[in-house]
Structure 1
Amino acid sequence: MTKKKHLTQRQHDRIAKNEQRRLQRSDKKASVVWDDQLLHAPEPGLVISRFGQHVDVEDNQGQIIRCNMRRTISSVVTGDKVSWCRSKQPTGSIDGVIEAVEERSSVLLRPDFYDGLKPVAANIDLMIIVSAILPALSLNIIDRYLVAAEMTGIKPLLVINKADLLDSTAQNALEQQLELYRQLDYPCLLVSARSGQGMTALLQYIHSGTSIFVGQSGVGKSSLMNNLMPELAAATQEVSAISGLGQHTTTVSRLYHLPNGGELIDSPGIREFALWHLSAEEVTQGFIEFRPWLGRCKFRDCKHISDPGCAIQHAVAEGAIRPERYDSYLKILTSMAQDKPNHF
């Protein structure tokens, strides 16, 4: 596992500021002023899901209680471990308040055009990057998630869903594409939520720790959840026959306990995972095969695009770095410059 990359203080400040702004905007009428005399002593809890200013917290007995947050808390997301107080007079509505959030071992951030960096989930051990042959498989989007995984220190697993739709020729072509990632020691699985292909192997990866499903809309994350947890009956939708784009089925991140151990977070589907909150140097570090060549360029400020004496371009020419990955790297750098909001 790669060494965890820490966020800069500037990024931490942006996250806190943006999250506080969202809290101030959302459902102010639902705010509750708690009398400490009406609360039990603090106890540990696990955040199952977040709805505006309301948070579903699971106690040590597995009971889920909906809570408010103290105004001093700037950020709470699914997967957070918290200290909370239970109301002495439960009403079946809002029956507790979160007092503090424990330090996170990891946090997955999703850039939001209006709010900057938006935390999605915390304390994740495995990022399951779900893709599918429908909509069309995009290696560039996979590479975006891999950069995000490298920058947060979360171990990635590539999962290609809907494998039952492949004929032998298409499957051979797909295997050749995935070999690129296997050579970089990224594990890959071909699965089918419909037929059950590869699901046993997937369970072996997620039977312990906390995992999260990420990926474009329509790749079948909710269908995979249904296969892993039949009693869940999460809503699923078919890919739009007109646009070819996926339909959003999950609206908030939520944590589920798997029957045979392990926790799984289902996150809202997104059609493109932007990386404009990262620097060009961080994206370069996110391509792990580039790392041995860093610091070997002719010029210290080499941009690795058209600079003379670039070690990375030399590695591509020599076959040490696959041209598909280098092209994907260039596309990401271009999109970062185009997508970055002016106010960020």
Structure 2
Amino acid sequence: MTKTKNINGTVWRSTGSWYEVKDEFGRDYDCRLKGKFKIKGLKVTNPLAVGDYVVFDEENADEKTGIITEIKPRENYIIRKSVHKTGHGHLLACNIDQAIMVVTLVMPRTSLGFIDRFLVSSESFRIPAVLLFNKRDLLDEEAMEYQEEIMALYEKLGYPCYSISALHETNLESVHQLIENKTSLISGHSGVGKSQLISTLIPDLELATSEVSTFANKGVHTTTFAEMFEAKPNSYIIDSPGIKELGLIDMENEEIAHYFPEMRELLGECKFHNCLHVNEPKCAVKDAVINGEIAESRFNSYLSMLENIDNRR
């Protein structure tokens, strides 16, 4: 039997060494990489990620297996710091239309620093980012007021925010509209309700969900590998494993302010053209923080990112 060569496909699931690839006709193949792929200028522990466009050769037509021979150029990607290899990143997803972060202010609490790192990662590739504030059913009046303040902060910066309860299916109409005709990465800490949300958006799925550990108020991992699902025709969701830490990869100190929209607006207004907005005199960004035009939490996130880059060096 003749083996078909040079088949175009998209990676739908990654388990580390094997990849589920769909060809142009929606047929599933279990594929592995041919040899070692190194992406020029990118130090990653996984050369291939869900959403990647690939070319593969059929290995066994009956068993629907193949060998990936080419990774096509990426439009964009979201990356986190590798937990296994120092100085390396781990690709979460590639070729996406938007990055959606599921945030919770209780059980577990998502820090503003974590949110800001996610937004900076998205900004660096001009990927539109959205924040879903889940578990609104667990918030008392005071906590709801705080959530509204945080949502107002990010919406002012241009990031759409939604207050939802995936468990009780509250305000999910907006999320259905949000994902229509797009490929969306859904990410966040473990335990924030990603699997619950996806199962609600795609009722036929049976994703494992897990309660949050009350001992440490941290989520229990339920998604082991990244995987793409079809919510409706031409609407795709990529479910990523819960992220403990988002490190910025291959970013220089001078770049980071460009990925904060409120700082980007002030570029060129500091006394020094190479101002890092830390100790320099006549800094427009620091003045904006003092005047309340830039949120202190955002400025602290910025300083933390600078410090992490310096420590990495």
Please say whether Structure 1 and Structure 2 have the same fold, judged by a TM-score greater than 0.5: yes
Residues 1:89 and 1:227: Cα distance change in structure 2 (over 3 Å): closer
AA matched with 2:291: E
AA matched with 1:264: I
Q: What percent identity do the matched residue pairs reach? A: 34
What does 1:1-344 correspond to in 2, within 5 Å? 39-71=3-35, 73-74=37-38, 75-87=47-59, 89-90=61-62, 92=63, 95-113=65-83, 114=85, 116-133=88-105, 134-259=107-232, 261-275=234-248, 277-338=250-311, 340=312
Residues 1:89 and 1:65: Cα distance change in structure 2 (over 3 Å): closer
Distance of 1:233 and 1:47 partners within structure 2: 21
Shift of 1:236: 0.9
Q: Which aligned runs of 4 or more in structure 1 are off by greater than 4 angstroms?
A: none
TM-score normalised according to structure 2 size: 0.90
Shift of 1:315: 1.7
* Equivalent pair of 1:47/1:80 in contact (CA under 8 Å): yes
Distance of 2:73 and 2:182 partners within structure 1: 17
Shift of 1:164: 1.3
* Equivalent pair of 1:276/1:337 in contact (CA under 8 Å): no
* Equivalent pair of 2:110/2:189 in contact (CA under 8 Å): no
Residues 1:58 and 1:260: Cα distance change in structure 2 (over 3 Å): closer
Shift of 1:287: 0.8
Distance of 1:43 and 1:163 partners within structure 2: 46
CA-to-aligned-CA distance 1:195-254 (integer Å, 9 cap, x gap): 101211011111112100111111111111111112211111111111111111111111
Distance of 1:78 and 1:88 partners within structure 2: 22
Unaligned runs of 5+ in 1: 1-36
CA-to-aligned-CA distance 1:90-116 (integer Å, 9 cap, x gap): 2x3x62122222221111121215151
Range with bigger deviation, 220-229 or 63-72: 63-72
Residues 1:276 and 1:96: Cα distance change in structure 2 (over 3 Å): closer
Equivalent in the alignment of 2:43: none
Unaligned runs of 5+ in 2: 39-46
Task: Give SS of 1:299's match.
Answer: coil
AA matched with 2:50: T
Shift of 1:333: 2.3
CA-to-aligned-CA distance 1:88-142 (integer Å, 9 cap, x gap): 542x3x6212222222111112121515122221101110011112212311111
CA-to-aligned-CA distance 1:164-215 (integer Å, 9 cap, x gap): 1123332122101210111111100111111101211011111112100111
